[in-house]
Amino acid sequence: MKISKIQKFGGTSVGSAARMKHVAGLIDDGDTKIIVLSAMSGTTNSLVEIANSVRTERVSPLLAHLKQTYIQMVSELHKTPESIEKSTRFVDSVFEHLNHLVQKTYSPIVEKEILAQGELLSTHLFTHYLQEKNVDCKLIPALDFMHVNEHGEPVFDRIDADLTKIINQNPTQKLFITQGFICLNHNAEIDNLQRGGSDYTASIIGSIVNADEIQIWTDIDGMHNNDPRLVEGTKPVRNLQFEEAAELAYFGAKILHPTCILPAKEKNIKVRLLNTMQPTAEGTTISNEVSHSGIVAIAAKDGITSIKIKSGRMLLAYGFLREVFQIFEDFQTPIDLITTSEVGVSVTIDNNKHLNEIKQKLEKCGTVFVEKNMTIICVVGQIPSDTIGIQSKVLQAFQDIPIRMVSYGGSNYNISFIVRSEDKIKALQKLHNTLFL
């Protein structure tokens, strides 16, 4: 049977009983589909706090508070005593399990099992609500088919085999519901696809069932041309190419998880970003088509560390860059941006876990300067190498903002700048005014 749509609803879209009821109305169009749900907004953050408080006296009040939210939610969600009882029983069982987990010593695996309860709660309660309304639906546990390998990457063959089997066992079912974010790792332990990873679940499933489209429903009318939380006057972008969307997501546009573009792009499945609160708004369509030229949007990513390695012998000595990159590889630390000159190389990273060790090793290659609290500002669009005018316009916006690094020419889709985080909002607003107003 052909699954035509994947519809993923994020935390705010299912953040209350009223919102869940609204989503139930949105999905009711008779298409064959898989619904992917996140945890209710706030729940994953609370569960992180609970996981970080295991075996302390803080943990009981945290659990009690979160449970109260769900008890209240259940009473608002259902009409019939049978449904209330069914959902209450489920909530009780989840919190009983959480009570057991918080007695364990902290470990990343314990934390992941605690975090998984958020998506289990939202999907079960939503399914119970649909059943109460006599909607024919089937909850398919993500833990029955979503597998990642030892690097945390999806194992497509296994997911395909297991998911296809489940779908084939339910040949007449048109509406499936599953959890975003959660999965099983190579040791068959509960794991996840990183924070915000429900988008990734949706695109992995979409690519496996070869859906016609993957819809990401959230609380805003599509990808805006700048961060709406920081900049005034942002507007939704109607169409984005996969590459543009990937750059924007990777460099900070929170609306989309960066990993979720690739599976869709590989199968050429369009991704639509839609607004649960305003379902008729056009949103953003991400596909292979390009319907614009020039810059379409700007994004920013904080928490960047820049590392400059100065060495008089860089360009003369071949092998220098390999040595430098090897050190980052040895510590499994990806490099975001890179620029070089005759006397050295500057790179940026967003993971400081091994910064001290990396710095120590790099000192064998030259003098090392580290600066933390940097931000990447990324200007995205169609910027092929013969473009005239855009580059100088972009630079104009930085007239009174110090730029630490510039990266251009790596692809036809972006120009990236490193600035101090304290200059971020000013840079975003100035770029916005220069490029879009």
Q: Which parts of this chain interact with Mg ion (CB under 5 A)?
A: 10, 196
CA atoms within 13 A on the CB side of 332: 2
Per-residue string for binding with ligand ADP, 22-61, x by CB under 6 A? ----------------x-----------------------
Among 3, 5, 7, 10, binds ligand ADP (CB under 6 A): 10
Of 228, 258, 283, 381, the residue at the interface with ligand ADP (CB under 6 A) is 228
Q: Draw the binding track, 93-122, toward ligand ASP (x: CB under 6 A; -: no contact).
A: -------------------------x----
Residue in 417, 380, 382 with CA at minimum distance from that of residue 297: 380
Instruction: By CB under 6 A, tell whether 380 contacts ligand ADP.
Output: no
The DSSP symbol for 154 reads: B
Which region, judged by CB under 6 A, interacts with ligand ADP, from 70-78, 90-98, 251-259, 388-396? 251-259
Residues 117 to 146 in contact with ligand ASP, rule: CB under 6 A: 118
- Spatial CB neighbours of 159, under 8 Å, sequence gap ≥ 6: 145, 146, 147, 204, 208
Task: Tell me which of 91, 148, 208, 255 binds ligand ADP, using CB under 6 A.
Answer: 255
Cα–Cα dist 27/16, whole Å: 17
The partner in contact with residue 195, picked from ligand ASP, Mg ion, ligand ADP, none with C-beta cut-offs of 5 to 8 angstroms by kind, is: ligand ASP
**Looking at beta carbons only, is 10 or 118 nearer to ligand ADP?**
10
Q: Does 44 bind ligand ASP (CB under 6 A)?
A: yes
> Parallel, antiparallel, or unpaired: how do β-strands 182-184 and 175-179 relate?
unpaired
| Angle of CA points 82, 87, 91, to nearest 5° | 145
With respect to ligand ASP, which residue has the nearer C-beta, 43 or 226?
A: 43
**Residue 181-220 contact track with ligand ADP, rule CB under 6 A, x = bound:** ---------------x---------------------xxx
Classify residue 336 as exposed, middle or buried by CB count within 10 Å of its CB (0-12, 13-18, 19+).
buried
d(CA 271, CA 202): 10
- 278/288 with CB nearer Mg ion: 278
The answer to whether 216 touches 202, Cβ cutoff 8 Å, is: yes
Closest CB to Mg ion among 198 and 339?
198
| Number of residues in contact with ligand ADP under rule CB under 6 A | 17
Alpha carbon 190 to chain centroid distance?
A: 19
Indicate the residue whose CB is closest to Mg ion. 196
Beta bridge partners of 175: 33
Taking CB under 6 A as the rule, does residue 63 contact ligand ADP?
A: no
Asked if residue 282 binds ligand ADP (CB under 6 A), the reply is no
Q: In angstroms, what CA-CA distances link 277 with 19, 226, 318?
A: 9, 20, 56
Closest CA to 197 of 164, 236, 148: 148
> Exposed/middle/buried for 70, CB within 10 Å: 0-12, 13-18, 19+?
buried
Phi then psi dihedrals of residue 235, to 5 deg: -135, 150
Nearest-approach distance from CB 13 to Mg ion, in angstroms: 10
Give which of ligand ASP, ligand ADP, Mg ion, none residue 12 binds (C-beta under 5 to 8 Å, depending on kind): ligand ADP
| Interface with ligand ASP (CB under 6 A) | 10-11, 38-39, 44, 118, 180-181, 195-198
List contacts with ligand ADP (CB under 6 A).
Answer: 10-13, 38, 196, 218-220, 223-224, 227-229, 253-255
